Structure formats: C-alpha cells, structure tokens
C-alpha cells in the first residue's frame, strides 16, 4: 500500500511530470531528468494533493500570508490559500507598465509573516528574488516551502541568506519511490543520482553560460547581479550600477575622526570603503556605528581588509569577538586561501543570517609576492565550492571569467609606480582594461591628496570609464 506521498509521486509520474531522457535544461546543462510540474494544473485533484503535502511540509505553523513564486508556484499557492483560508499574494516577474504598476498584488500590512510557495528549487534564485521584493514591502519573509528540491545547491544558497526552505521531497527520495514501485530501473535511478551528485551548487553559473553571458569581462555589473544569489555580491553589483562607481577607497588612517571625515568626503563616489580597523589608535564601537550610518547615507558597503589566515575555529573567534567584533559591522572581509576552506566555513558559521561575504586574497600587489599559479587555481576552486560566502578575489590579473565573482585590484594610483616598501602601482585604466579589475582599490592616491573629495571623484570617473570601454569593446 503506497503512502500519500508515494501515491502522489506515482500519479505525477503517470501524468508525465517526471521525464527521463537526455534533456538540455534552461541552464544549458545536460540532465537525464526533467520535472514539468506545470502539468498539474490539468489535474485538479492531484494539484490539491501537492498543495496539501506542501502545506504539511511548511517550516512553521503560523503565517499571515502566502506568496506563490511565478509561475507554477501560483496555482499551488491558490490551492493552499483556499483550503487553509489564508490570504495570498502574487509577485509579478515584472512590474506592470500601466495602472498601479505594482510588483505585488494582494492585501498586506507591514510586519506580516509570509510563506513563499515554489514548485521546484534548483539554485534558489527565483525564491530569493521573491523574498527580496517582499522584504522591500516590510513583510517578514524567512521561509519557503517547495515540492521538489533538485538537490543542486538551492536550499544551501537560500539558507546562507537567512531563508529556511522545506521541501516535500528531494530528487534522491523521488528516485527511491519510483524504483520501489518499479516505475524506473536501477540504471535510470543511478544515472539521476550520479547527476545530482556531480551538479550540486553549479546551477547558477550554468544559468549564466546558457544565457550566453560567459565572460565576466564582457558583462555589465547590472547583468551580473542576476548571476548570483550571494546577498553581498548582489548588493554591490546594484550599488556599482546605481552609483556608476567601481571605486573602493582604502581608508588607511589612524584616527577615528579622520576615518569618519574621509568616509563623508569620498562617500558619494565609492561603492566600497575598505578599512584596517586595527590601525585606529582610538577605536571604539561608536566609530563603527557612525561609519555604518555614513555608509547608509551614501550607499556604500564596508569592507574590513582583515586577511584572515588561520584555522576555522580561530578565525570564527577573531571575526565575531575581540575588541572589533567585525561580523557586526563589516559587509565584507578578506581571507587568505592558505589555510584551506576551513577559513571560509569558520567565518560563514558566524554570519547567522546577516548578509555577509568574503573575498579571497589570491594575488598581491607587493613585489616578491609568493602567490604561484597553483595557489591561484586553488583559490578559484575554493571560491567555486564556497560561492554562498565568497564574492570574489583580490587579484592583479584576470584570474576568473566567472561573472558571479568580483575582482578587486589594489595597488592603484595615477602618477606613481611604487612606494619604498614594495607596493607596486598601476593606473585605474590599466587595472580595469589590462588586469581585469572590476573594482579598483585606491588608498594613498586619495587619502594623501590635498583634496580627497576631488581625487575620489577623479578616480571614480577614470575607473568607470575604463569599465564602460571594456564591456563595449
Ligand atoms: O595585494 C594587496 C592586498 C591589499 N592591499 C591593501 O590595499 C591598500 C592599498 O593602499 P595604497 O595606499 O593604495 O597603496 C592597503 O590598505 C593594503 O593593505 C594591497 O595594497 N595589496
């Protein structure tokens, strides 16, 4: 006797929702299996069962609202809404160009909790986009329920952004049911499970490739935002497009008042402010609170160049403790690849739902740097495998084509090629056009100039012009 879930899977199989063969997914990836849950709208009773199972799998009991993720999430959400007598919202994929121009339809009030309803989860980007829209309306959005988790990294991606996903079934479990009831052969099941194992967390990158946007250097910052679900990367791409700035100022000053004054002056021109917080002789928690306010006011992110380089347990303590409590105020931090990915996992374990990320220092600007090609390759692999937390690289060359990852290049100054302690400089134009920098990091070229405000404006314009030339050439 089949359980309710088993019967539902068998019925879905019978109506052709589960297809085996040689498919090319929207992502461009070859897949031995395809799920077409849209078909359930022609089978109302089965759609009702899918809705019931999803409702039973929901992460919590108490929601004020539900919201279907377009498109197949919409009919399922409707079924749940009528059955549970729970108000529903619809999120459009694009705002209407007429009438109310709203992106979300339905009644809601600030602070209400909303459960997102999705049919199949791959990378999690559709759920993420829906959550972002709902959060903009001041709704409390922390949970999603999906029918099928394809086990390709979506749930982990969303978890790293504070969204809890529960699924009715995953790919492996679905194969087990179909095998148990002799609907498929062991060979088919094995090939599907093998596919799942090999394709975990690769879906976002593949999505980009299928869209024909292959090379980071040729993509706009705007288009790159949709290639990732990493919350800090998305925010940074958004700021860079909105402010037309790919300038990060290295605020290497030693007094809190200097830091705040510099942040105010350069704020309008930068996407990021980089700190070395441990060089402040008068550090206090007030200074970071004030810095955060300035960052909000001028719409830039804060990047503490801590260069964590120890075992996971130690860096976790350094990140979330000590006098600086960096996790509390820095959107981004740097790590060395040397310890292996425990360093990333250690930091990631402290982020607890806050949007945080790290950048791997893969090459350095200083003369005599020891970073070999092998080391750089290792850093790239580490980024690929930890893309939920790694947003890119500190580098001096085009080490990655992947549009998800942002390349930050320090050692940038016009009219100066080095300092007396081994720093080596290139111009902003050379950094972007010859070395593949997305973001140029300028320190003393701005901080030591007579007029940091005008200098920042100048570097911003130079670097952004070079980026515009790069994407159009
Ligand atoms: O390879 C690296 C990594 C980090 N940095 C940091 O960037 C700034 C550069 O300051 P300038 O005054 O523009 O030289 C500084 O904070 C370094 O710690 C780097 O230079 N090179």
Q: Which two tokens stand for residue 61?
A: 């009991």
**Has residue 465 got a pLDDT over 80?**
yes
Report which DSSP code applies to 397.
S
183 and 267 both lie in a single domain: no
Strands 140-149 and 113-121: parallel
20 and 151 both lie in a single domain: yes
Going by C-alpha positions, the residue among 242, 359, 257, 255 that lies closest to residue 298 is 242
Helix (H, G, I), strand (E, B) or coil at 324: coil
226 and 179 both lie in a single domain: no
Q: What average pLDDT score do residues 398-421 get?
A: 96
Domain of 228: which CATH number? 3.20.20.70
420 and 458 both lie in a single domain: yes
Look up 93 and say whether it is catalytic: no
Atom of ligand 1 nearest to the CA of 412: 13
111 and 260 both lie in a single domain: no
Q: What is the pTM of this model?
A: 0.68
From the list 143, 149, 305, 331, the catalytic residue is 305
Ligand 1 site residues, Cβ closer than 6 angstroms? 250, 252, 276, 305, 364-365, 394, 410-411, 413, 423, 441-445
Q: What average pLDDT score do residues 69-98 get?
A: 87
Residue ranges for the known binding site for substrate are 252, 274, 365, 423, 443-444
What are the distances in angstroms from CA 433 to CA 139, 190, 270, 409, 470? 42, 47, 19, 12, 6
Look up 310 and say whether it is catalytic: yes
**Has residue 209 got a pLDDT over 50?**
no
174 and 231 both lie in a single domain: no
Domain of 136: which CATH number? 3.40.50.2020
The domain boundary, picked from 157, 174, 198, lies at 198
User: Does residue 49 fall inside a structural domain?
Assistant: yes
Tell me the H-state helices in 326-401.
342-351, 373-385
Q: Which two tokens stand for residue 377?
A: 């390759």
Range in 70-74, 208-212, 370-374, 404-408 the model is least confident about: 208-212
User: Does residue 107 fall inside a structural domain?
Assistant: yes
Q: What average pLDDT score do residues 315-330 get?
A: 97
Ligand 1, from 337, 396, 410: best to mutate by most atoms within 8 Å of Cβ?
410
State which H helix or E strand residue 439 sits in: strand 439-442
Ligand 1, from 360, 365, 392, 431: best to mutate by most atoms within 8 Å of Cβ?
365
Q: What is the mean pLDDT of the chain?
A: 91
Residue ranges for the known binding site are 252, 274, 365, 423, 443-444
From the list 211, 310, 401, 465, the catalytic residue is 310
Q: Which two tokens stand for residue 104?
A: 């979300």
> Over pLDDT 90: what percentage of the chain?
76
- Residue 203 has a pLDDT of 44
Look up 305 and say whether it is catalytic: yes
**Has residue 208 got a pLDDT over 60?**
no
Domain that holds residue 243: 210-472
248 and 293 both lie in a single domain: yes
**438 and 426 in contact (C-beta within 8 Å)?**
no
What total of structural domains would you count in the chain?
A: 2
User: Does residue 346 fall inside a structural domain?
Assistant: yes
d(CA 200, CA 151) in angstroms, rounded, equals 6
Q: What average pLDDT score do residues 69-81 get?
A: 94
Helix (H, G, I), strand (E, B) or coil at 114: strand
């Amino acid at each position: 006797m089949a359980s309710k879930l088993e019967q539902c899977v068998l019925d879905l199989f019978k109506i052709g929702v589960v297809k085996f063969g040689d498919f090319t997914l929207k992502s461009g990836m070859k897949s031995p299996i395809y799920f077409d849950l849209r078909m359930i709208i022609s089978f109302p009773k089965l759609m009702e069962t899918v809705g019931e199972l999803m409702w039973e799998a929901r992460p919590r009991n108490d929601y004020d609202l539900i919201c279907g993720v377009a498109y197949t999430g919409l009919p399922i959400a409707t079924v749940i809404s009528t059955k549970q007598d729970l108000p529903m919202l619809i999120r459009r994929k694009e705002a209407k160009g007429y009438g109310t121009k709203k992106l979300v339809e339905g009644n809601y009030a600030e602070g209400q909790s909303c459960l997102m309803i999705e049919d199949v989860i791959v990378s999690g980007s559709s759920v993420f986009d829906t959550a972002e829209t709902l959060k903009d309306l001041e709704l409390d959005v922390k949970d999603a329920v999906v029918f099928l988790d394809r086990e390709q990294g979506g749930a982990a991606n969303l978890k790293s952004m504070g969204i809890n996903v529960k699924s009715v079934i995953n790919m492996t479990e679905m194969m087990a049911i179909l095998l148990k009831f002799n609907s498929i052969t062991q060979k088919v099941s094995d090939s599907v499970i093998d596919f799942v194992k090999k394709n975990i967390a690769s879906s976002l990158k593949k999505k980009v490739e299928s869209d024909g946007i292959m090379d980071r250097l040729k993509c706009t910052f705007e288009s790159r935002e949709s290639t990732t679900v990493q919350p800090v990367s998305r925010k940074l791409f958004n700021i860079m497009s909105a402010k037309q700035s790919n300038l990060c100022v290295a605020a290497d000053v030693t007094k809190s008042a200097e830091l705040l004054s510099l942040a105010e002056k350069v704020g309008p021109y930068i996407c990021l402010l980089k700190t070395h917080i441990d060089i402040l002789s008068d550090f206090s928690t007030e200074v970071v609170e004030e810095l955060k306010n300035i960052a909000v006011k001028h719409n830039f992110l804060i990047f503490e160049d801590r260069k964590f380089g120890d075992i996971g347990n130690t860096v976790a303590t350094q990140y979330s403790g000590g006098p600086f409590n960096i996790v509390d105020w820095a959107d981004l931090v740097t790590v060395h690849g040397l310890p292996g990915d425990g360093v990333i996992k250690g930091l990631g374990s402290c982020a607890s739902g806050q949007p945080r990320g790290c950048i791997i220092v893969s090459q350095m600007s200083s003369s005599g740097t020891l970073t070999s090609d092998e080391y750089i390759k290792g850093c790239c692999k580490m980024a690929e495998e930890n893309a939920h937390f790694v947003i890119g690289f500190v580098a001096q060359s085009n080490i990655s084509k992947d549009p998800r990852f942002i390349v930050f290049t320090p050692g940038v100054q016009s009219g100066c090629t080095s300092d007396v302690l081994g720093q080596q400089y290139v111009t902003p134009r050379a950094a972007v056009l010859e070395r593949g920098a997305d973001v140029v990091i300028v320190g003393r070229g701005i901080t030591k100039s007579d007029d940091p405000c005008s200098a920042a404006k100048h570097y911003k314009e130079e670097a952004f012009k070079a980026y515009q030339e790069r994407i159009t050439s």
